Structure formats: structure tokens, C-alpha cells
Amino acid sequence: MTITRKFRNVKKNKKIKKSIGGALESRGLPECNILSQFKITDSDLQILRDFKLPMDCFINALQIMKVLDNKSANIMRLSSLEKQKGFLKEEIEVIFIYNFMTNFDFKSTNSYQVWSNLIIAELKPAHVVFAGYDGHVFLIGRKMNGKIFYIDPQVPTVLCDLSDPNCEGFLQNKNNYFLLFNSMEILNKQQQELVKSYVYELPKILYNI
């Protein structure tokens, strides 16, 4: 995943940032103020990657979360565009919006401590949060026993305990840390049409085409 958009401070928390227009709040979509959490089981971690690509981290996360089945995920990996680059922040947000029909915002902070403290405080057992740092996305999950794990098929262990300093070392000293937030409200028909219009604008916004 590559992130090229500029960011600005959110008024409620100066340490958490959002992209300008990234989640469409300025166009009438509801505010994203809930940390997004997704329920998974241990069996969900057994994903089939027929094609292991260096930029398929977003596909891996969607596959673990069962947004994509194994075949659909591997078809996405075959995309010639995916072989060249990952997904932009705005593309990630709109994919989640389309799939779950609530607004989503992939907010960031430059503080690892702020990022990790929020996960520790809010993450429910048997759930994952969609997270990342500049250039990469992954999942952070909490088991029923309360232990928190870094989940990433691009790391040799795939699943590692964040209480282990060696595991935590994968995530420290990055430029920006991201967590996905969503709105409480389901999008109405008018808001869904706004999202469709935004999708058609994205090539111009992101690539000037």
C-alpha cells in the first residue's frame, strides 16, 4: 500500500490525523469516530496464497477478514496493476465503504505509543483491527485469553505475540501509524450515490487522469 495524500489534524485529537476529503465527511457522509473491529476465528488465518506478491498486503487482510474468498483474492493478485503497486488510502476507504455500507476513515498518528495504546484499550477478544504504517497494512488481533497478535502473511511467522519484543520490533520506528475508523450510521441512498460519484472521480484525484 502506498500513501501519497497530505494529512491534517482532527480537531478532537491533534495526534490523530485524517486525509483531506479521504472519507467523504466533507461531502455529507457521517463522521468516523468508532474504531473498526472485525470478528474472526483461528481458522480464518489459514489463507491460500497461490501467488505471493510483495504488494498484496491489503488483499491478505481482506482475505483473512473473509471480505474476499481465496479464489477472488488470488484473481486480484493476478492483476497487472497490483503487481506494480499497492492500494492508496482513498481506495482502501472506499472499498470498505462499499462492502460494509458505513463511512470509513483510515486515520493516522506519528506516535507508535498513541497507536498501540488505543489498540490495547479498545480491541475486543476474538476481533481484529485493520492497521498499518506508511507503505504497509496488516491486522492486529486479540485472542480470547487477552493476548494481542500481529497478523501478517508477509512476515515469516504470520502470527506473532506483540508482548514479544522481537515481534514488536516489526512495527516500531515507522513514520506514520494507521487505524481504520467507521461511522455508526448506515449510509442512506443519497449518501451511497455520493460514494459512487467519488469512485468515478478517484482516477483524476489520485492519478490526474
Classified as helix, coil or strand, 9 is strand
Give the residue-averaged pLDDT of 167-174. Answer: 90
Do residues 180 and 170 lie in contact, with contact meaning Cβ atoms separated by under 8 Å? no
What pTM did the predictor assign? 0.86
Give tens-digit pLDDT for 122-150.
Answer: 999 999 999 999 999 999 999 999 999 99
Closest listed residue to residue 63, CA positions, set 188, 1, 152, 131? 152
d(CA 43, CA 25): 36
Do residues 68 and 136 lie in contact, with contact meaning Cβ atoms separated by under 8 Å? no
How confident is the prediction for the chain on average, in pLDDT? 85
Q: What is the pLDDT of residue 22?
A: 53
pLDDT over 90 at 44, yes or no: no
Give tens-digit pLDDT for 77-108.
Answer: 887 555 567 888 999 999 999 999 999 999 99
Give tens-digit pLDDT for 12-26.
Answer: 444 444 444 456 888
Q: What is the pLDDT of residue 162?
A: 92
Do residues 88 and 22 lie in contact, with contact meaning Cβ atoms separated by under 8 Å? no
pLDDT over 50 at 10, yes or no: no
d(CA 130, CA 191): 24
Beta bridge partners of 132: 137, 178
C-alpha cell at 90: 482513498
pLDDT over 60 at 5, yes or no: no
Residues 6+ apart with CB under 8 A from 20: 5, 6, 7, 8
